Amino acid sequence: MAEIRALFWDVGGVLLNNAWDHEERDLAMARFGIDRAEFEARHKEIVPALEQGRMGLDEYLERSVFYQARSFSRAEFKQFMFSLSKPKPGVLEIARGLADKYFMATINNESRELNRYRIETFGLAECFDLFVSSCFVGLCKPDERIYRLALDLSQRKAEECCFIDDRPGNVEAAAKVGMRTVLMKDAEQLRRDLQGLGVEG
C-alpha cells in the first residue's frame, strides 16, 4: 500500500467547530429573537449559493434575516456569527505537528466570508498549503468532483492521500475516489487512526 504523503482536512467539525450549522444558527436565532422556522425556510433555499461562492454574506443576510426591519444591525449579526468559531480541542495541534512532513490541504464546505475569517483568525495559512473550499471552487462535499479537483490541484495520487472528516457521507465519497480516510470523533481517536495509517509528526 502506498505511503501517505498528503493530508486533506475538513475544517468545520474537525479543525474548528462548524461555522454556520444548525447549532450555530439556533444560537443566533435565540440571541436575536428571530423566528427559527421562517429563517430556516429562507436559509435552505439560498445556502447552496452561499457555500458555492455564488452569493456573498451580505446578500444572504438580506434575504434570510434583513428582509424586514430589525432591532439590531447587520454588523452586530455578522460579529456574532464570527464569534461562534472556536478550535476543536487538540486537533489544530495535531495538524500543526504534521505540517512540516506532509502536504496539507483542506476540503471544506463554507461561505467565503466565514472561510476567510477562520483562515486568518486561527492561522490556518501557516499550516495548510492549499484550501479547496466550496466557496472558491463552486463544488460542495460530498460531490465526488470536489475530491477529484483537490487531487488535480495538489497533483497527488489518491492512494497517497488521507482525508479527515467528521461526517460519514463525506468520508465515503473520498473513499470512492481512492483516498484513504479517517472519520474523526475526537483528537485522541484521530491521532490513533492516523498512526495506524503510518502518519506521524
Instruction: Find all residues with CB under 8 Å of 50, minimum gap 6, and list them.
Output: 56, 57, 60, 111, 135
Task: Give the domain CATH number at 119.
Answer: 3.40.50.1000
Instruction: Tell me: pLDDT of 88 over 90.
Output: yes
- Written as one string, the DSSP assignment of 41-100 is HHHHHHHHHHHTTSS-HHHHHHHHTTTS--SS-HHHHHHHHHHT--BPTTHHHHHHHHTT
Cell numbers at 14, concatenated: 474537525
Q: Are residues 116 and 163 in the same domain?
A: yes
pTM: 0.96
Cell numbers at 189, concatenated: 481517536
Residue 105 · residue 150 · CB < 8 Å: yes
Q: Are residues 70 and 124 in the same domain?
A: no
- Which of 83, 101, 122 terminates a domain? The answer is 83
Instruction: Tell me: pLDDT of 152 over 90.
Output: yes
Q: How far is the C-alpha of 111 from the C-alpha of 49, rounded, in Å?
A: 9
16-20, 123-127, 149-153, 197-201: range with lowest mean pLDDT: 197-201
Q: How far is the C-alpha of 109 from the C-alpha of 139, rounded, in Å?
A: 8
pLDDT at 60: 98
Q: How far is the C-alpha of 75 from the C-alpha of 8, rounded, in Å?
A: 33
pLDDT digits (tens, 9 = 90+) for 60-85: 999 999 999 999 999 999 999 999 99
In order of 92, 180, 194, the CA distances from 99 in angstroms are 10, 18, 14
* Phi, psi at 66, each rounded to 5°: -100, 30
pLDDT confidence of 112, banded at 50, 70, 90? very high
pLDDT confidence of 110, banded at 50, 70, 90? very high
Cell numbers at 158, concatenated: 489518491
Residue 153 · residue 130 · CB < 8 Å: yes
Instruction: Tell me: pLDDT of 1 over 90.
Output: no
Distance of CA 157 to the CA centre of its chain: 22
Q: How far is the C-alpha of 93 from the C-alpha of 91, rounded, in Å?
A: 5
Residue 8 · residue 150 · CB < 8 Å: yes
Report the SS3 class of residue 13: coil
Q: Are residues 44 and 129 in the same domain?
A: no
Count CB-CB contacts under 10 A for residue 146: 23
Instruction: Tell me: pLDDT of 201 over 90.
Output: no
Q: How many domains would you assign to the chain?
A: 2
Q: Are residues 35 and 121 in the same domain?
A: no
Residue 176: give the domain boundaries. 6-18+86-196
Q: How far is the C-alpha of 149 from the C-alpha of 2, rounded, in Å?
A: 20
Q: Are residues 129 and 101 in the same domain?
A: yes
pLDDT at 191: 97
Q: Are residues 102 and 29 in the same domain?
A: no
